[in-house]
Amino acid sequence: MASDILIVDDENDIRELISGILQDEGYSTRLAKDSTQALTAVEERRPSLVVLDI
């Protein structure tokens, strides 16, 4: 299993784009559109990297 990257952004397009580009490079990605989802995803499994729109 490749490195797990969590992408948090409220913009769907941006989320999808970043995820696509990273997948192109061979990373596995998970997506979260808000803090609740993001925290749930982190609890579920700790990601190697979080791309966070602050």
Which residues of the chain form contacts with other proteins (CB under 8 A)? 11, 13-14, 17-18, 20-21, 24
**Contact (CB, 8 A) for 6 and 51:** yes
Q: Locate tokens 């490079």: which residue?
A: 25
C-alpha 35/C-alpha 54 separation (Å) is 11
**In terms of CB distance, is 13 or 43 closer to other proteins?**
13
> Which one, 20 or 49, has the nearer CB to other proteins?
20
Nearer to other proteins, 18 or 41 (CB): 18
What is the gyration radius of the CA atoms in the chain, in angstroms? 10
In the complex, least distance from residue 18 CB atom to other proteins, rounded to whole angstroms: 7
